[in-house]
Structure 1
């Protein structure tokens, strides 16, 4: 009986290879890095990974985290860092 069950049960235990879909943070990181490198092909590719709304949210989240990290590194306020990065006068 177990012999018949064993014949029916697949013996290959390796999982099939699947390509994972990039999440919104991967798309945002790729999009921003490609924008910094002026790599239009990669920018266009990253745009196809998620919806425009999700990409916008991811880019916003990345910007927020980057400003916070720079503010801590520079011992400045996030507002000062953001305004400096954008070339705006101090508030």
Structure 2
């Protein structure tokens, strides 16, 4: 899990304090091999994506001095997940 700290800007409203924004990044295995049984190439692919997430809230202050609560998703953990390869 990669972490970055930033302010949230939504509809002319900005977070009062910066929040921790998370993302997934990394190398996951892929494989291409010939199948004698199928007489064709077989491809195995996986990608790095969120495994566990939580919903969080942040208070935003708007230009008209009102405050709104904004929900966002926080990534707790990442994993390599099988995906269909594009031929």
Q: Does the alignment reach a TM-score above 0.5?
A: no
> Between Structure 1 and Structure 2, which shows a larger proportion of helix residues?
1
Question: Which structure carries more strand by proportion?
Answer: 2
TM-score, normalization: structure 2?
0.20
For the pair shown, the structure with the greater C-alpha radius of gyration is 1
- Report which structure shows greater RCO (CA 8 Å, sep ≥6): 2
